[in-house]
Amino acid sequence: MYDEQQGPERAERPAQPEHGPLAGFTVGVTAARRADELGALLQRRGAAVLHAPALRIVPLSDDSELLAATNDILDRTPDIAVATTAIGFRGWIEAADGWGLGEALLEKLRGVEVLARGPKVKGAIRAAGLTEEWSPSSESMAEVLDRLLEHGVEGRRIAVQLHGEPLPGFVEALREGGAEVVGVPVYRWMPPEDIAPVDRLLDSTISRGLDALTFTSAPAAASLLSRAEDRGLLPELLGALNHDVLPACVGPVTALPLQAHGIDTVQPERFRLGPLVQLLCKELPARARTFPIAGHRVEIRGHAVLVDGALRPVPPAGMSLLRALCRRPGWVVPRSELLKALPGAGKDEHAVETAMARLRTSLGAPKLIQTVVKRGYRLALDPAADAKYGD
């Protein structure tokens, strides 16, 4: 709402940049479900998005294992039911309705101690006419497991609604505690019918064409790792994710397959898409390199450069040259070395001059990069920065 008393003060504030906090960065999206929502959130903040669903979901009505688990629960009522995802719980009830078993299933669950992983699951439980016994404030399956083990599970029959794959360690811990566990596989993840987009995403990750790669489910992370292994590219993928491409997971369960391969991930405090995007808005700009060059503040992003806050898109060849110069800021980088940084340039050093001319035009400030006759090129660092970086 406009406040007349605030009007003049607002008018005096410096203009906000026209670009979003993720402008100049490219983010990969592996999600199959809610990918459009995540992509829109990222694009709204300026990011370029490369989407390749790492999995597809088998329709519930086609899953015979779910029908078998439902009949098992109808035959022998569990003592406890654990609901892990809202979409999964709703899907289970809808599938049971389709088989003519919906009312019978709800009647069974009314006499069961129902535990919900988080608020969205609680909403789905209540929408079905049921009431949850308990839900952790952390939305963590680890806290659910701690409660179950603390109260004792020996001799108890526990139904666990799975979300695409068995929960790592959760079911095993319950069985070790003496429980009988009935897994309820509400929907099943399968490889995508068209694997080409996943391969393009892998190639872009390995070539550092991405700045971040997002994961919203553990099965998607496991699937991408498996595909990389099938192609003989797993070491290259792990190298990219460990050093240059930021792996961002919606929560700790999603991160488990990556962590099993020694990959450190970032995760928001609240396991939601919005906080995941907010985390990227903080992490990616913080990872960008910034230099004082020729009287300008220059920030190097994935496929663009901020020059005094103005966004300057740069062609891939130009970014390759700029990154090579930034690896030794202020130092003269020979043409022969810059040529190696140009993909597909061959042995023609003229390609360096052509790409350099386009880079300078893209930056809008030709003096940012100095030509050192017969030697190569260097970033024109300001004097104080020269003392720190220069030769």
The CATH number given to whatever domain includes residue 330 is: 1.10.10.10
List the pLDDT tens digit at each of the 391 positions of the chain.
333 333 333 334 344 456 899 999 999 999 887 789 999 999 999 999 999 999 887 765 557 888 999 999 999 999 999 999 888 899 899 989 989 999 999 999 999 999 999 888 999 999 999 999 999 987 778 889 999 999 999 999 999 998 755 555 788 889 999 999 999 988 777 888 899 999 999 999 998 999 999 998 888 999 999 999 999 999 999 999 999 999 999 888 789 899 999 999 999 988 788 999 999 999 999 999 999 998 899 999 999 999 998 999 999 889 999 999 998 888 999 988 898 888 766 677 788 899 999 999 999 888 899 999 888 999 988 876 554 555 4
Residues in the chain: 391
Asked if 237 contacts 28 with a C-beta cutoff of 8 angstroms, the reply is no
Q: Say yes or no: 257 and 148 in one domain.
A: no
* Backbone torsions φ then ψ of 55, nearest 5 degrees: -145, 170
Q: Is the dihedral of CA 381, 387, 390, 391 positive or negative?
A: positive
Question: In terms of domains, do 66 and 175 share one?
Answer: yes
Beta pairing, strands 333-334 & 376-379: antiparallel
Is the residue at 6 inside a domain?
no
73: containing domain: 58-190
Domain assignment present for 8: no
Residue tagged 């009522």 (tokens): 77
CATH number of the CATH domain containing 46: 3.40.50.10090
Specify if 7 maps to a domain: no
Domain endpoint, select from 264, 287, 310: 287
Cβ contact 70:96 at 8 Å: yes
pTM higher than 0.85, yes or no? no
Are 231 and 113 in the same domain? no
Residues 356 and 367 in one domain: yes
Helices 218-230 and 196-206: crossing angle in degrees, nearest 10, is 80
Domain boundary among 287, 318, 339: 287
Query: Cα–Cα distance between 272 and 277 in angstroms, integer?
Result: 9
Q: Are residues 212 and 181 in the same domain?
A: no
Looking at 238, 264, 287, the residue that finishes a domain is: 287
Residue 122 placed within a domain: yes
In a domain, 340, yes or no: yes
Count: domains in the chain: 3
Q: DSSP character for 15?
A: P
Q: Cα 54–57–60 angle (5° rounding)?
A: 170
